[in-house]
A and B are shown apart, each in its own frame.
Chain A
């Protein structure tokens, strides 16, 4: 059994706790243990835009906390993964930077050594793809899902090393594992626009409209995302965009790990679906009928 330092991230902790709940149910099924440490915000790119050095120092503290326990970091969020992976590389490659940052960490009894790996949980799921396949008891046959990998899990590609940013396939492969059908759609690799929602609602809303309409045109039942920012943008903010721009198409959003939970026999309630703002009675009905069929077959 491998232990990981579990990096939940601020957005999931504070705004989408249902994702944390389902992750804590599903991830241990892969024979891993999740360790909670006193992590702070990763910190995010807004923090970096004010001062890169302090961004690096705070990221180094998070990494050093896990290193002290001898653990690799497993993250629920692409943004956190990107920050921590990039900081890890910057500090490993630059001795003078490392020395200077370590002087700061010394003040709280920590040290950055450069011994750990940081990964998003989809990487781990990819590695255990055969185990996952065997755990699927309620395949989501007939459900059409629009994969939205988002930006930060893909780029910078030399740091993230997850998938081809121009033609991502991994999330769709994982959608296949749960028995659902990934649909191709025009705006698949387009950014969700979350970063603009606070300051430029109209631009952000137009991005949402184009994404939702193009996925709906491809007959998707829902979006699937691996990122809490994309989740919020396509879920809660979709309703705001609809009010502002008056468009008809509407799609609920699932975190990939929620679809995994559903395929392993958890109910919509248990995977936190009802905490989402956009609901789809059609999707709910389809999933409930699949669950009933699976129960009969057992």
Chain B
């Protein structure tokens, strides 16, 4: 049974006005490459839970299974933009220190090095062998603009 949490519902709707337009047609779910293989990830149900303000949506970890392919946004007949709704919910989790550790680590790697991959000596050597330039270190430029001490 789903319990409606009106406070959470209000909080979610503040940033996602458009989800009220969802009529649960399931176009997003029918288009979702993840759902085709993993029934535990269902965009239509996630939008419904968001409308109910169900805490489950924030606790279950389902949100992080989204592939970010954008197909649901592209096909949604109501302009609900399910992908962007999930993004905002994930942003909310991150702000509450509830994002998965690997996402936080990946974010920090980018902020510290400018690159989403660790720049190992193997990578440097391989680039050198191919006659490519070295990675330019960014220093603390990203920290400065993100106001991180």
Contacts and interface: CB of A to CB of B under 8 A. Distances in A.
- Do A and B interact with each other, yes or no? yes
- By Cβ-Cβ distance, the 5 closest A-B pairs, closest first, are A40-B114, A14-B117, A155-B70, A195-B67, A151-B69
Most buried by A among B73, B104, B145: B145
Interface string B19-32: 00000000000000
Contact of A50 (B69, B94, B127, B145): B94
User: Main secondary structure on chain A at its contact with chain B?
Assistant: helix
B132 A196 contact: no
Given A11-B116, A14-B117, A155-B70, A50 B91 contact: yes
B37 A191 contact: no
A27 interface: no
11 contacts: A13-B117, A13-B127, A40-B115, A43-B110, A44-B116, A49-B91, A104-B145, A105-B145, A155-B71, A203-B34, A207-B37
A54 B104 CA distance: 13
B87 A191 contact: no
Residues of A in contact with B, size category: 35 or more
Measured as residues with beta carbon below 8 angstroms from the partner, the interface class of chain B is: 35 or more
Contacts of A10: 115-117
A70 interface: no
Nearest to B38: A203
B60 to A, nearest CB: 14
A68 B130 CA distance: 30
B11 interface: no
A61 B141 contact: yes
A107 B144 contact: yes
Nearest to A65: B141
A20 B99 CA distance: 33
B64 interface: yes
B74 A165 contact: yes
A190 interface: yes
B99 to A, nearest CB: 6
A69 interface: no
Contacts of B106: 46-47
Contact of A21 (B74, B132, B146): B132
Contact of B90 (A49, A57, A157): A49
Given A151-B69, A151-B70, A203-B38, A50 B33 contact: no
Contacts of B34: 196, 203
Contacts of A61: 141-142, 145
A225 B103 CA distance: 27
B141 A50 contact: no
B135 A191 contact: no
Interface in A115-150: none
B91 A52 contact: yes
Contacts of A44: 110, 116
Interface string B67-85: 1111101100000000000
